[in-house]
Amino acid sequence: MSLSSPSDPSPPKWANRLLEWYCRPEVLEDLQGDLHEFFDRNVEVKGLRKARLNFVLDVVKFMRPYTIRKLEILNNITTTIMFKNYFKTSLRSIARNKLFSAINIIGLAISMSVCLLMISLFAEIKSYDRFHDNPHQVYRFNNDLQYQENDPSHFASTSILAGMRFKEEVPGYEAATIIRQTFGADATIGDLKFPLDGLWADEDFFNVLSFELLRGNKETALLEPYSIVLTDETATKFFKGKDPMDESIMLDEKLYKVTGIVKKPPFNSHMKFNSLISLSTHIKEVKEEHGERGYNSWMNMWSNYVYFRINDNSNLDDLLSRVKAIEAEENAKDEYNNIFISFQPMTGIMTWSVDLSNQLGESLGSTMLWVFGALAFIVILSAGFNYTNLSIARSLRRAKEVGIRKVVGATKRQVFSQFIVEACIIALGSLLLAYGLFFLIKPLFLNLNREI
């Protein structure tokens, strides 16, 4: 087989590539240049064919130990051996300095466990109210109450009248529900009595909020007066071994009919309840006792909440402008007070930047999140400073160690790698201990929030 075409006055390409493959980068340029000079000289003296043959022989002849590049596998083996040496030396150094190592590992572990707790808290808070269908489409009315020229006070509550006028007069949303808190009574079932609390809610409750209704019809469960929906946990407690549907419960000397069973609200719901009572019951009783104005008052905003769900075709600005028209009409009737309504996304209730009074359930606020985050950062930063200070305090002893390593031939990079491996082992040990502490105290820490 010919080495190359006779008309090509260049050395064989495959031989050139072979040279580039095995030759060390630092000698390749000089060696390749010399071989090309010999090739050009041989072309003039011996002819092109012999010149190419000599070039191939020269490429093979220069496959010497000083020209062959180090194989990658040898590099990997050397690196592995060096890492094992760094690892063993680091373990011996940590074992030899037990007090220093214990202070660093325990300090870092405690700070890491605090940071892990903060991460868990942030993740849990971020998950609040995300279990509802399309939670970003659910909003709540907020009220700003201003007395004369004073600064307004901010409330999560609103009036039943605001919710009723919204439902009757404002188009362009999917569903809206009115909720009232402060329900509580002793439930009498046969000869047994149980304390029971919950929320008043109207018939659209399950159309807005995606709490899982296990039994009953979501359209009618809260429609009629004296209807009650129990959580599965409460129903099991009240009616052990019996079907609770259509059973009666005596509350405040009135009979309530069980029209549904709802799954207990999950821990990441800002709204907690053991039962839901039809809002029509409350309205009926207030009308009988106080007349129409007893509940239908713009200023009666202390225990009522309005939630509504929009759809893809809804225009939030248009909805707000229509609510503002109702707001202006009602505010004109009061000489001293003004109530200004705004919409709050349900996914922001737990971390809202404005401190709201009359919350329906728990709310942490963005300020507290920043405070917790800052505290976690300070704790981990303090542990880092502690490690640095202790390392500086040991610097004289380590200086002797570095000097001995330099004398026996260690490079600056190798000494640096040794210290980095030692620091990583301490950090890894701290992380493992931190995980143990974290899993130990995590349930207690999160239950402080869940049991509010």
Amino acid (one-letter) located at 137: Q
Q: How far is CA 426 from CA 25, 268, 433, in A?
A: 39, 36, 11
Amino acid (one-letter) located at 439: F
- How many other C-beta atoms lie within 10 A of the C-beta of residue 65? 5
Q: Is 251 helix (H, G, I), strand (E, B) or coil?
A: strand
Report pTM: 0.73
Q: Tell me which DSSP letter residue 224 carries.
A: S
Q: Tell me which DSSP letter residue 358 carries.
A: S
d(CA 114, CA 437): 9
d(CA 50, CA 306): 97
Phi, psi of 329, deg, nearest 5: -65, -45
Distance in Å from the first CA to the final CA of the chain: 88
- List the pLDDT tens digit at each of the 452 positions of the chain: 444 444 557 888 898 888 888 888 888 888 888 889 899 888 888 888 888 998 999 888 888 877 887 655 445 555 666 777 778 877 888 888 888 888 888 888 888 888 888 888 888 888 899 999 999 999 999 999 999 888 899 999 999 999 999 999 999 999 999 999 989 899 999 888 999 999 999 999 999 999 999 999 999 999 999 999 999 999 999 998 889 999 999 998 899 999 999 999 998 899 999 999 999 999 998 888 776 665 678 998 999 999 999 999 999 999 999 999 999 999 999 889 999 999 999 999 988 878 888 999 878 777 778 888 888 888 888 888 887 887 777 776 777 777 877 777 777 777 778 788 888 888 888 889 998 988 888 877 766 555 44
Give one DSSP letter per residue of 71-106, joined into a string: PHHHHHHHHHHHHHHHHHHHHHHHHHTHHHHHHHHH
CB 341 within 8 A of CB 331: no
Q: Is 179 helix (H, G, I), strand (E, B) or coil?
A: strand
H/E stretch holding 146 reads strand 138-147
